[in-house]
Amino acid sequence: MRIMTGLLLLVVFPLAAQEPMDRPPGKRVVITIDDLPCANCAEGTWDQMTDDLLRTLTAHRVPATGFVNENKLYRDGVLDSARYRMLERWLQAGMDLGNHTYAHLGATRTTVAEFRQDVVQGEEHLRPLMERHGRALRYFRHPFLQAGATPQRRDSLNALLAQLGYTIAPVTFDNDEYIHAYCYEHARRAKDDSLMRHLAADYLTYMAEAALFHEEQARGFFGREIPHILLIHANALNAAKLDALLTWFEQQGYRFISLEEALKDECYTRSEATTRYGFSWIRRWQLAAGQKPPWPPEIQPEVQQRYDALRN
């Protein structure tokens, strides 16, 4: 499977034409990027990472949404104006921004009050910035995709977010891209070009496998194509390889759409199962329907072992 999927990355097809109004809308995907302004980035690389991501998104005409952790805007407890301006560049490039909490605290191990504080603190600078650009702060992404481990907790969090004026941004094309990215960043700092190339190639193959898996699961569950939402992070790996990833989606016939457009689809009104883990919404819908879905593709053992060793 990895070899066959990898070969798809070598062939470039033109961007699929927009479907006529009297036909089904076809394949669509939203690109969402978490942990802005930068995830695990070395000092001195934040500006370049931002430039690379925005240049690629613009070249592929992607209306992306980035989700911000405001604690990353601070250096030694003081707001860093340069990091703050990075968010402004996202808006200037035509992208949207959402709240990913201040300190990326998961909902599973926090009280509702603690979670609320992290959400509110996460919009202290973001909301005024959006308003200055004539934009509304609308979207919220749960850290670790933890949306509530029980129905009662989920409903409490949903009510809290609705009270604060947020629409939840689900994820259907879930993945463990952060594992590749963590290893890639360490290889980059070690100037190990060979390892960087190996990790990047495996990352692209893995992402293709994960997307194809979730695409198949969604099609089997709904009996049609749904607008998907991809989660990736603002890191050096994606800054280097986002062009290849987006090209692969184009090869597969996907059209890039906004989060607003995707959430209009009725699939996102379905009730989902509660879980303490960060599963794809497709899996949550399947579990809520009483199904026992298969597990998605796993990270290559070599990469997983490298990640575990680095973390330890």
Res. 89 pLDDT band, cuts 50 70 90: very high
Mean pLDDT in residue range 171-175: 98
Res. 24 pLDDT band, cuts 50 70 90: low
pLDDT tens per residue across span 59-75: 999 999 999 999 999 99
**CATH number for 164:** 3.20.20.370
Mean pLDDT in residue range 107-118: 95
Would residue 60 count as lying in a domain? Answer: yes
Q: What is the mean pLDDT of the chain?
A: 93
196 within 8 A of 188, measured Cβ to Cβ: yes
Count of domains for the chain: 1
Would residue 153 count as lying in a domain? Answer: yes
Would residue 228 count as lying in a domain? Answer: yes
Structure tokens at 50: 């931002």
Tokens 């497709």 appear where? 282
Residue 32 domain boundaries: 25-174+224-278
Would residue 184 count as lying in a domain? Answer: no
Q: What share of the chain is helix, strand, coil (3-state, %, to 5)?
A: 50, 10, 40
Structure tokens at 27: 């394949």
Of 100, 93, 10, the residue nearest 52 (C-alpha):
93
- Residue 282 to residue 145: CA distance in whole angstroms: 13
Length of the chain: 312
Would residue 310 count as lying in a domain? Answer: no
Would residue 70 count as lying in a domain? Answer: yes
The pLDDT of residue 10 is above 60: no
Distances (CA, A) of 210 to 171, 175, 250: 13, 6, 16
Would residue 305 count as lying in a domain? Answer: no
Structure tokens at 250: 């184009």
Res. 25 pLDDT band, cuts 50 70 90: confident
What pLDDT is attached to residue 191?
97
49 within 8 A of 17, measured Cβ to Cβ: no
- Residue 33 to residue 160: CA distance in whole angstroms: 23
The pLDDT of residue 285 is above 60: yes
Would residue 295 count as lying in a domain? Answer: no
